[in-house]
Amino acid sequence: MKIPKKILAFSIILTLMIVSIFYFSTHKTAAISASAIQKTNFLNFKTIVNIPVSKDGIEYTGMVGYGSHEGPNAFDVKGDKVYVLDNVHHRVLIYSKRDGNLIEKVNIPDEQWIHGMAVDKEGKIYLFNAGTNTLIAINKGAVDISTNQELRLEPFYKFEVNDKGPFVVLSGSKMKTIFLAKDINKNKLYVAEEREGIFSSDGSVSEVKASDCKASVDASDTFEFPRWLINEDCAYDYIGKRGFIQFWKITNDYGEWIVKLNSKTQNIEGLVKIPDGKYYFPVRDVILEDGDVFVLLPCEKNVYVLQVDSWMTSAQYMKYTESN
């Protein structure tokens, strides 16, 4: 049966209208979802990555029957990429720093539980299993594993990488930094160098004298923190520096704080409180990259990577502590 031209034309137009409505409605929904991620509000921070706690995102061990709720131990930011360790699913998730979208999933051997992760300037991923003294290097899909259970690398404090290579910092009465390397002939991990102090990814060496409320970077820049901020029971972690500006993570009675101080003037130039609500406390949760401070915040329903975008003054901090 021949269909009249008017009816055929009307049918085509109607079909195009339905397709157009569906197209724009689905894209509007996607735009709303992306916008919702960016509108996640944390005081003094902007959200860079928002990962749902799920099989497709990140999970905690307690959710999959492993007992306690351990989760992402570390993260890093290099260039335009954000790297987040996903221990439960044995992988590293790589996201775009620009739009927060997932770029790649890099698998880790199933038998490995990773305590530290760091990424070098070239994008090479280093992972460290403190339980078995195993170093894993992943470069453009190639996985290189070296181990040595005869080494004594404890008590484990943190794992990072700088221009000299990957290293482990050990805690104790005297903090030590152990630079690691692989014996190619024996396919075995060994200690390339042992140094006193806490080395950092920027090459600096920090030292803390908690009883005196003092800290120093590279021996010369000694700073005494004000007593309105800390006491002898506080925890100090050096994050990095940009010129005369040092960044420290301070844990006191009012929470975890990122402190920006000027080593030349001895003044605190800004503070920001890491948001409450952590479901898990990572080994490496604050980093300085290209002058910006980033925070890994694992919450019960979502895992966030945040960037500091504003600072409190000392007066605002004291007003906050008076009201809390």
71: nearest Cα among 256, 239, 298 = 298
- Predicted confidence at residue 67, as pLDDT, reads 56
Of all residues in the chain, the percent with pLDDT exceeding 70 is: 85
Q: Is residue 27 part of a domain?
A: no
Q: Is residue 71 part of a domain?
A: yes
Q: How confident is the model at residue 169 (pLDDT cuts 50, 70, 90)?
A: very high
Of all residues in the chain, the percent with pLDDT exceeding 90 is: 70
- For the record, the structure tokens of 233 come out as 């029971």
pLDDT digits (tens, 9 = 90+) for 124-156: 999 999 999 999 999 998 999 999 999 999 999
- Predicted confidence at residue 315, as pLDDT, reads 96
Q: Is the pLDDT of residue 66 over 90?
A: no
Rounded CA separation 246/234 (Å)? 18
Please list, in sequence order, all residues whose beta carbon lies within 8 angstroms of the beta carbon of residue 110, skipping any fewer than 6 positions away. 90
Q: Kindly state the DSSP code that residue 10 receives in the 8-state scheme.
A: H
- Predicted confidence at residue 282, as pLDDT, reads 93
Span 92-104, mean pLDDT? Answer: 97
* Mean of all residue pLDDT scores within the chain: 86
Q: Is the pLDDT of residue 164 over 70?
A: yes
Q: Is the pLDDT of residue 22 over 90?
A: no
Q: Is residue 9 part of a domain?
A: no
Q: Is residue 29 part of a domain?
A: no
Sign, CA dihedral 194-200-204-206, equals negative
52: nearest Cα among 33, 32, 66 = 33
Amino acid identity of residue 299, one-letter, is C
Rg, the chain, Cα only: 24
Rounded CA separation 85/54 (Å)? 14
Using DSSP's 3-state secondary structure scheme, residue 18 falls into helix
Q: Is residue 18 part of a domain?
A: no
Span 98-116, mean pLDDT? Answer: 94
Q: Is residue 277 part of a domain?
A: yes
Q: Is the pLDDT of residue 260 over 90?
A: yes
Rounded CA separation 188/204 (Å)? 28
Q: Could you list the residue range(s) of the whole structural domain that residue 195 is in?
A: 38-323
Q: Is residue 24 part of a domain?
A: no
Q: How confident is the model at residue 69 (pLDDT cuts 50, 70, 90)?
A: low
Q: Is residue 15 part of a domain?
A: no
Span 232-250, mean pLDDT? Answer: 93
| Least confident residue range of 42-51, 209-218, 240-249, 275-284 | 209-218
Rounded CA separation 275/66 (Å)? 27
- Predicted confidence at residue 254, as pLDDT, reads 96
Q: Is the pLDDT of residue 15 over 50?
A: no
Rounded CA separation 219/195 (Å)? 14
Give the CATH number of the domain where residue 244 resides.
2.120.10.30
Please list, in sequence order, all residues whose beta carbon lies within 8 angstroms of the beta carbon of residue 239, skipping any fewer than 6 positions away. 200, 247, 248, 249, 258, 286, 287, 288, 293
The structural domain count of the chain equals 1
Rounded CA separation 145/135 (Å)? 6
